[in-house]
Every structure is written in structure tokens, then in C-alpha cells.
A and B are shown apart, each in its own frame.
Chain A
């Protein structure tokens, strides 16, 4: 748009000068707005990163400085060492990091298998209740977690699944399956069914055609669902907070405890926050394209 306008008017003419000045102003305006947006989005997080590498004394300085003179790894070191839990030598941070990794990976694996099967059925096959199925799955997404967390607690206790990895993975299906099925279905619907039919004419079974023909083409959809599931499961708090205690406690729950119950020093909470946010942030940025498509397809359409 900018270059078009410049080409239209003769250089040197009065109109040209004014148009050029207008363009320049517009461009400056856009860049200023972009900078403002990025400052608003990033600075709170950057401040947490800076804090996590700072000495407390430096942050007390008046006037405050945004970038201190010296940095330290003490907050991270103390987090790994002194905050060690009870009988074991592994720190609380390490054990909840492991729990979060197990639970988020497990949730992703289970959600992928279930959502691919269900989405394939919805996208390709006529079966009774198909329409109701999608509608029901979508409605489930609207149920507030707080409404079902109470009976879930009672049920998990009955089956001895409270404070276990499997228990939380199962519970996370309620959060993730509706959106995962929805995203997979939209993706599968873009893959022509003829390819599969051709494979079936050549003697492949339906499931063989799904695995060997459709699934390889649906890899972007699979990545979208996997990334989305992993980030949501890693970040989830309410269920993990109420349904785990010690052996399956996830990282978000630990950080919540640091900041409410244990009254840990803020700089160490900041360090733990940086650790907890790295996996979802790295994955979200690496697969940003897939994620954006999944989020928009999940919320609308």
C-alpha cells in the first residue's frame, strides 16, 4: 500500500512531498504501535527473567534500574538445593518437573490416539448419533471445571487414583478431547477421501488406509493437536491443584504453593516460573503456525 501511493505522485511536486511526509508519519506510527504492543506483551515476562537472575539488594535500589549491574545464579541454585522435599534428595522442583513432563506427555499421547480415531469417524463415516456426537463434544467444552472437580475428587479417591499420573491424564481428557477432536476433524476434512478409496480398491483395509494414506497427510493436524494438548496439560492448574498432593504434584501446583503457602522468596518463585514456562514457550514458538491455526479452528468455525 505504502509503495503504491509513492509511485502515484510525481517526486518533487508539492503533493508528492506531502504524501511522502504522510507515508513517513504512517510508517513511524505503525512501528511505534508495534513497539508499544511488544513492550506491553513482553516486559512483564522479561522483568521476571531479570528478577530471577538478580540479587535482592539490587532490586531495592532507588531509583530502580531495569537492568542491574550484576547477575547471579543463586536463585536457581537454591531452588534446586535448599528446597529439597522431606526424605528424598531430589528437590521439589525436580520431582514436580518430572511429574509435569510425564503427565503432559501422557496426556498428549492418549489424546492423539483417541482424537484421531474419533475425528476420522466423524469426518469420513456415517454412524448413528454422529451429529449429536459433535454437538455433545462441543457442549462438554463449556462445562466449568470447577463444577466437576468435586465429584472427580470423590471418584478418583474411590479408584485410588488421587495423586497419580494416570488419574490426572484421565481427567485432562475432559479439557482436551473436545478441542482435539474438533481440530483433527477440521484437518481430516481437508484431505480428499478419494486417496483412501484408491488405497482400499488396491486391497488396503479401512484402518490400513487410515494409517498408511490419510495419517501421513494429516501430520500438520497431528502436530497442531499435540502442541496444543501438551501446552494445555503442562499449564493446567485447578485440577492438578485439587487432585494431586505429593507424588504427582505438577510444576504449576508447586509454584502456586511457593507463592501462597510456603511464602518462598519472590526471586526464587521467579526462577521457578522461568523454568516452568520454558517448555510451553519453546514449543509454542517453535510450532507457532500450527498453534494459531488450531486455536482459531477450535474456538470458531
Chain B
């Protein structure tokens, strides 16, 4: 999968032919080239217009909004406030708390997900009966709507009928049913658990692609040198899958900061805003308190925080464009 993608030529097909023909027939070539340019731009423009309309214009609007006081509940107070919203956010305890919670949520998720995904991917690349089926079933959490996954976990964590309490009691780990989501620490732990369940499959697929691209001779050589299984992993597998691990980690960090369904459905941000992740806070401020200006400033702050991982991700994951 991976090597096939990576081995694509950097220059588009047809380029060489074009260069050759330009040597012989310069004038005819120039008009053909102009035609190709116009045609290319014409084909590419509908998608570009769509992206402009639904991403770039709103993004610019959000920036303008973030410099404004815009309370839909109190239109008479509308005004341009410059950096006012951002200054206010810098000392907004609840917003800062949501950023802390989001960081903890995302980073902890990644730290669990990556080793778990490596382990699962290694198992799924071994030879065993039913491997195709196992590899197919592993994508279930990815394909499940996030809302369904969240309400499914909420049901499992339910204090009275939840299967989590039933199982723990059956195994003698707890004496009586507990209200897990009423405890800030457990609530955070459990939404991280749900998130890891939902997000691990994609990382598994990425790691599996990378594992299958490792030439077998490397393992044979390591075997001859008497390397133990751990040494083979440490010195052969790990360095070779590290690039994909970094890409997967960055992607999960970016997505972790955008998580909305899991806390919204499972905990509603509670207890005591312990699981109020940034997206949830932004949503409540904007669409419940109707503070569109402040909400936009919050959203922009989060987007700016993600700028560094996003740029690193694009550079690492899409070397082909950077080098194009």
C-alpha cells in the first residue's frame, strides 16, 4: 500500500513528451500550452470555488468576528473591540481550563493509542487463519458514527444498568455499583478510553501499511546476527515505522483538539467542567450564550495552537507536494 503510494513520480506524466515537442514546434506548442493552462484552471476551479465559499470566506469572517463584541442576545452592545476578546480569554479561567483538559485528553489518548496500535498492527501482519476478516473487522470503530459510539459508551458506563459496573462486580473488583461519570478523574479517564477505542483503528491501518513495507531481509539479517525479538523490534521495526508514527501522532493530536461528540454526549463536559473540552466550551459560549465574537476568538485561539502541529504534519506527510 505504502510503497506504491510513495513511489509515484514527482513530475506528472506527459511532461517529458511536452518538453520534447516544444523543441520541434515552438509556436504550435505555445498555443497548446496556453490551452492546457486554461483547461486545467477551468477543471480545478469548481472545487476551488466550493472550498473558498465554505472554508476560506468563513475563516476570514471568523477572524473579523473575533475582533468584535457580537452578542446575539444583546445586539445594542455590538462593537469593534480589537484584541479585547483575546485579552479577555487569556484570563478566562474556564476557557484555560478547557484548553488544559483538551491537552491532557489528546496527549494521553496518543500515548495509549500509539503503543496499542503498534501491538495490534504487529499481530495483524502475522500469518494466521482468518486474517483478512480480522483486518476488516478492525475498522468497525472508525466506521461507526461518533455519536453512536459515544452513546454506546455512555450506556456501558451507566451507573445503574451499565455493563461496566456489572462486569467489575462479577469479577469482584468493586463491592457496589459506582457512579463513574460523577467523579472528575474517572470521567476524564473514561472519555479517553472511549476515544482510544474509536481512534486506534486508523493508526493501526497506517502502522500496518508501514510494517508491510519493511523488507524481510532486514529481519533475516538481524536473526543471523542473533538479535532477540525485542532487539529486532527496537533496531529494525521501530526506526522504520517511526516516520508513520509521527504522522499518526500529529494527526491524532490535531483531531484530539477537535473532539466534540465524546464529551458532549458522554459527560456533557461535567462533572465541574472536568471534561469540558475546548470544542464543547466554544460551542456553549457561541450557540448557548450567543456570544459569537468571543466564541470566534476562542475558536481562532485553538486553530492557532494547532498551527505548528498542522504545518509539521503537512511537511512530513506530504513531502511529495513540498518537493513538487
- The answer to whether A71 has its CB under 8 Å from any CB of chain B is no
Report Cα–Cα, A108/B143, bound state, in Å: 16
Of the candidates B37, B62, B166, B282, the one whose C-beta lies within 8 Å of that of A126 is B37
Decide: B260 and A146 in contact? CB cutoff 8 A: yes
A127-B40, A192-B13 in contact; A288/B303 too (CB < 8 A)? no
Within 8 A of A (CB), among B253-274: 254, 257-258, 260-261, 264-265, 268
| A145 → B minimal CB distance (Å) | 7
Chain A residue nearest to B255 (CB atoms) is A144
A126-B40, A301-B318 in contact; A296/B46 too (CB < 8 A)? no
A155-B61, A270-B152 in contact; A63/B166 too (CB < 8 A)? yes
Decide: B8 and A284 in contact? CB cutoff 8 A: no
A125-B40, A142-B310 in contact; A190/B8 too (CB < 8 A)? yes
> What residues of chain A lie closer than 8 Å to B5, measured between beta carbons?
186, 296-297, 300-301
Decide: B47 and A114 in contact? CB cutoff 8 A: yes
Chain A proximity mask over B192-204: 1 for CB below 8 Å, otherwise 0: 0000010001100
Decide: A118 and B43 in contact? CB cutoff 8 A: yes
- The answer to whether A77 has its CB under 8 Å from any CB of chain B is no
Chain B residue nearest to A301 (CB atoms) is B5
- The answer to whether A199 has its CB under 8 Å from any CB of chain B is no
Decide: B51 and A193 in contact? CB cutoff 8 A: no
The interface residues of chain A, by DSSP majority, are classed as helix
- The answer to whether A12 has its CB under 8 Å from any CB of chain B is no
Report Cα–Cα, A42/B161, bound state, in Å: 20
Decide: B54 and A277 in contact? CB cutoff 8 A: no
Decide: A255 and B151 in contact? CB cutoff 8 A: yes
Interface size on B, residues (CB 8 A): 116
Chain A residue nearest to B163 (CB atoms) is A47
> What residues of chain B lie closer than 8 Å to A252, measured between beta carbons?
145-148
Within 8 A of A (CB), among B74-98: none
- The answer to whether B156 has its CB under 8 Å from any CB of chain A is yes
Report Cα–Cα, A174/B127, bound state, in Å: 40
- The answer to whether A30 has its CB under 8 Å from any CB of chain B is yes
Within 8 A of B (CB), among A131-154: 131, 133-140, 142-154
Report Cα–Cα, A144/B62, bound state, in Å: 12
Binding-face segment, B104-112, B131-139, B183-191: B131-139
Decide: B146 and A42 in contact? CB cutoff 8 A: no
Chain B residue nearest to A235 (CB atoms) is B145
Of the candidates A38, A130, A178, A189, the one whose C-beta lies within 8 Å of that of B8 is A189
- The answer to whether B227 has its CB under 8 Å from any CB of chain A is no
- The answer to whether B180 has its CB under 8 Å from any CB of chain A is no
| A17 → B minimal CB distance (Å) | 21
Residues of B within 8 A of A (CB): 1-2, 4-6, 8-9, 12-15, 17-18, 33, 36-41, 43-44, 46-48, 50-51, 53-59, 61-62, 65, 119-120, 123-124, 126-128, 130, 134-148, 150-156, 158, 160-161, 163, 166-167, 169-170, 197, 201-202, 205-206, 209, 244, 247-248, 251, 254, 257-258, 260-261, 264-265, 268, 278-279, 282-283, 286-287, 292, 295-296, 299-300, 302-303, 306, 310, 313-314, 317-318, 320-322, 324
Residues of A within 8 A of B (CB): 1-2, 27, 30-31, 33-34, 37-38, 40-42, 44-45, 47-48, 51, 56, 59-60, 62-64, 113-115, 117-118, 120-131, 133-140, 142-155, 170-171, 173-174, 177-178, 181, 186, 189-190, 192-194, 197, 206, 231, 234-235, 237-238, 242, 251-253, 255-256, 258-260, 266, 269-270, 273, 276-277, 280-281, 283-285, 288, 291-293, 295-297, 299-301
Besides A45-B144, A147-B302, 9 other A-B contacts (C-beta < 8 A): A63-B166, A127-B44, A129-B41, A138-B318, A152-B58, A231-B143, A237-B145, A276-B147, A296-B2
